Amino acid sequence: MNAHPAVGLPATQVRRAAPPPRWRAFAARIRRNAIGSTGAVIILATLACALLGPLAWRTDYASQASRRLMAPSAAHPLGTDELGRDELSRIVHGTQVSLQVGIISVVIALVSGTVTGVAAGFYGGAVDAVLMRAVDIMFAFPGLVLAIVIAGLLGPSRTNAMVAIGIVYAPAFARVVRGSTLGVLGLPYVEAARSLGISDARIVRRHLLPNIMAPLIVLTTVYLSTAILTEAALSFLGLGTQPPEPSWGSMLNAARSYMERAPWLAVAPGLAIMIVVLGFNFLGDGLRDVLDPQLRDA
């Protein structure tokens, strides 16, 4: 966002005031928002679990050294699975998998959706018509169904699941970005920038993108939860992360065969999915209240 100072503009334009501590007021508002701050705490705890968990709980998630389907005990707080692997270490490793898939697929959706939406809103006319019809057609598919078709046809793997989820949710970003872009482009400061002869690229970078950030941040948070749920669903169906790598969805699917003997195996992965998704939903709700009151009911 920060332009290079040496672009030959008059000094008044180049000089920047020290950034006001807006984020501090923002953080204070999030803290006062009970639901939003609960979400932030859950997400921070999840990140800590993904990054530090493997250091704190050192049992190897792939080791099949223990007895199979053991009930929770001190040595295995969440028991062992059908191959004698420690369930807790697999849940901890699954946190990394879930967050990785969620973040990468949302980045794919965010980048491609933003490029599409800005192009459609900025250029209008035929570009807008073609891009938005394509978006409409993709919207005509139930999201999970499209993800299942793409991931299934690309071949079951974690990378393909990320690609599939990214493609499926890109249109949502494109629509919101296009709407916000049209809103911002109608404002006087954009007209002023245009009349000063500022290039399109610079208008997009300096005037447009910073001003559509609020809905984008909210949307990103919400879709992080959707993407994690979708990855779990794909893995549950065998279309996502493949064994032996642990993913919460595939762990839950495997647990179904042993439900009578080891019901705890069906509880932990689902609970993990729910907590992380809940965290992002809480955070998204809080961010929406703070950042974007107009989106509150959406």
Partner 1 sequence: MARYALRRLLFVVPTLFGMSILIFAMVRLLPGDVVDAMFTGEAGAAATAKQAIRKALGLTDPLPVQYIRFVGGVATGALGQSLTSGERVSAIMARALPITVELAALAAVTATAAGVPLGVLSAVRPNTAVDLAARVGGLIGLSVPNFWFATLALLATSVFLHWTPPVTWIPPWRDLPANLAQMAIPALAIGVYLMATVMRMTRATMLEVLRQDYIRTALAKGAASRAVLFRHALRNALIPVITVIGFQVGTLIGGATIVEVIFGLPGMGYTLVQAIFARDYTVIEVAALLLALVFVLLNLAVDVLYGLLDPRIEQA
> Judged by CB under 8 A, does residue 296 bind partner 1?
yes
Q: Mask of contacts with partner 1, 179-218, x by CB under 8 A?
A: ----------------------------------------
Note whether 233 and 144 are within 8 A (CB): yes
Interface stretch with partner 1, choices 75-83, 114-122, 136-144, 190-198 (CB under 8 A): 136-144
Among 54, 72, 84, 143, binds partner 1 (CB under 8 A): 143
- As given in the structure block, the two tokens for residue 214 are 């609020």
Residue 134 found at the interface with partner 1 (CB under 8 A): yes
Q: Is 32 in the site for partner 1 (CB under 8 A)?
A: no
Tokens of 212: 């559509």
Is residue 201 a contact partner of residue 123, using CB atoms and an 8 Å limit? no
Among 63, 40, 179, 35, CA closest to 121: 179
- From 48-56, 107-115, 141-149, 197-205, give the range in contact with partner 1 by CB under 8 A: 141-149
Sequence-distant (6+) residues with CB within 8 A of 150 are 160, 163, 164, 167, 168
Residue placing its CB nearer to partner 1 in the complex, 14 or 41: 41
Cis peptide leading into 244, omega within 30 of 0?
Answer: yes
How far apart are alpha carbons 63 and 60 in whole angstroms?
5
Which residues lie closer than 8 Å to 20 by C-beta, 6 or more apart?
none
Residue 252 interacting with partner 1 (CB under 8 A): yes
Chain positions contacting partner 1, by CB under 8 A: 35, 133-134, 136-138, 140-145, 148-150, 152-155, 225, 229, 232-233, 236-239, 249, 252, 255-256, 259-260, 263, 266-267, 269-270, 273-274, 277-278, 281-282, 285, 296-297
